[in-house]
Amino acid sequence: MRRLAFFSGLLACLLGATGLVACLFAEQPSWLRREGRAWVRTFTGTAVPQPRLRVVGHGPVTLRGGAAVYLNYTVTVKVEARNQAEAQRLLAGALVQVASGHGQLTITAPGGAALSTVTLAGPRFGAVEISTSDGAVDARGVDGPLDVNTGAGEIFADAIHGPCSLSTGGGDVRVGDVQSGLRCATGAGRISVNSAAGEAVLETLGGDIVAGQMGASVRAQTGAGRVEIRSAGGPVNAVTGGGEIVVEKAGGIVTARNMAGPVQVGAAAGVQCENGSGGIRVGNIAGAMRVSTAMGSIFATLLRGKLADSFLATGNGDIVVLIPSNVGVTIRAANQTADSIRRIVSDFPSLQSRRRGTQVVAEGAVNGGGPLLQIEGTGGTIFIRRQ
């Protein structure tokens, strides 16, 4: 019976109607074995690699590029059955399909009642596409684009030289190094990236986002969680429904929106920040600042020699501004409903507070004057300090 099945599969390979060289299996599967309540068969084979690789899975997929001259694959197919006869019936049609043509090698693992685990080791492919209905994906060593989509499960990708797109219905996404653009999306889970040379888009409905050395612009959005960008070569757009936002360094303007949590920007070409609640801390901003929070304090350090018209405002909290001696700026500060003129404190004789109705205001030139810095507070104290 096994010989008959083998020759039937070989005949199907030779009579493929698509014009592709298709084969149901490259080698006879190993003997059926039992693992607890499950029954398992393992398929192994070797295929001549093509510039593009496509994997259609129904379970976990692991790919190691640059590990072999030919593509070596192992597919473990598992089903739950009450006895061996039922397992044989369920696995009768659960065969691995391998097709090659038009510069693409396609490996399709059986699905349905079966869970298939795919492991591949081969050369560094020019392009790889991995799609699985459910299961973790681990892909490393691709010279061109990598596209991964899983219904649910963790994703790990590393040593990718082309554009990289990673999507999972739910699970963490971890990225090592990508030498081009990067897109990550997960229904729920953490996203962490070591480095990406191109534009990065990182989105999760709930979970932290941490990005290391990013060579271009970064867009990071989470429904709830911390957003941390250590270095970006371009602008940064960071959004969270609740959690801390930290941008250590950005080559462009930082735009941050936080429903509930603090924001910190270490260095940027400009900053635009809106907080529902939470303190804001910005420094070394080589451009305009438009910073506001409904509830929380603001701490800002002006960059030496570089400034543009800026605006700082809080609905409830203190505002502290540090001004270096070589930065000229024109201040227009107002503290609403202040109970004392001490609600604006200045280290500069040219900037003295006074009452104007229910407000306390302070207006004047600091270090000879320059771009306008408008400061508005309510209830707290505005401190204008010499650095």
DSSP string spanning 16-49? -TTSSEEES-SSPPPPPEEETTEEEEEEEEEE--
**Which pLDDT score, from 0 to 100, does residue 16 have?**
34
Partner residues linked to 201 by β-bridges: 183, 219
Do the strands 329-336 and 21-23 form a parallel or antiparallel pair, or are they unpaired? unpaired
| Tokens describing residue 207 | 């979970």
- State the first-to-last Cα distance of the chain, in angstroms, to the nearest integer: 87
| Tokens describing residue 49 | 């690699």
So where are the chain's domains? 208-296, 299-387
Per-residue confidence in pLDDT tens, the chain, 387 aa: 344 333 333 333 333 333 333 343 434 344 688 888 888 999 999 999 999 999 999 999 999 999 999 999 999 999 988 888 888 888 878 889 999 999 999 999 998 888 999 999 999 999 999 999 999 999 999 999 999 999 999 999 999 999 999 999 999 999 999 999 999 999 999 999 999 999 999 999 999 999 999 999 999 999 999 999 999 999 999 999 999 999 999 999 999 999 999 999 999 999 999 999 999 999 999 999 999 999 999 999 988 767 899 999 999 999 999 999 889 999 999 998 767 888 999 999 999 989 888 889 999 999 999 999 999 998 799 999 998
Among 27, 34, 24, CA closest to 97: 24
Partner residues linked to 356 by β-bridges: 359
3-class secondary-structure state, position 343 = helix
**Which pLDDT score, from 0 to 100, does residue 5 have?**
39
**Which pLDDT score, from 0 to 100, does residue 244 have?**
97
**Which pLDDT score, from 0 to 100, does residue 14 have?**
33
* 4 sits in which H/E element: helix 2-14
**Which pLDDT score, from 0 to 100, does residue 262 have?**
97
Do the strands 71-80 and 38-47 form a parallel or antiparallel pair, or are they unpaired? antiparallel
**Which pLDDT score, from 0 to 100, does residue 356 have?**
87
340/138 Cα distance (integer angstroms): 62
Question: Do residues 237 and 218 touch, judged by C-beta distance below 8 A?
Answer: yes
| Tokens describing residue 287 | 């451009």
Question: Do residues 224 and 189 touch, judged by C-beta distance below 8 A?
Answer: no
Q: How many CB atoms lie within 10 A of CB 384?
A: 24
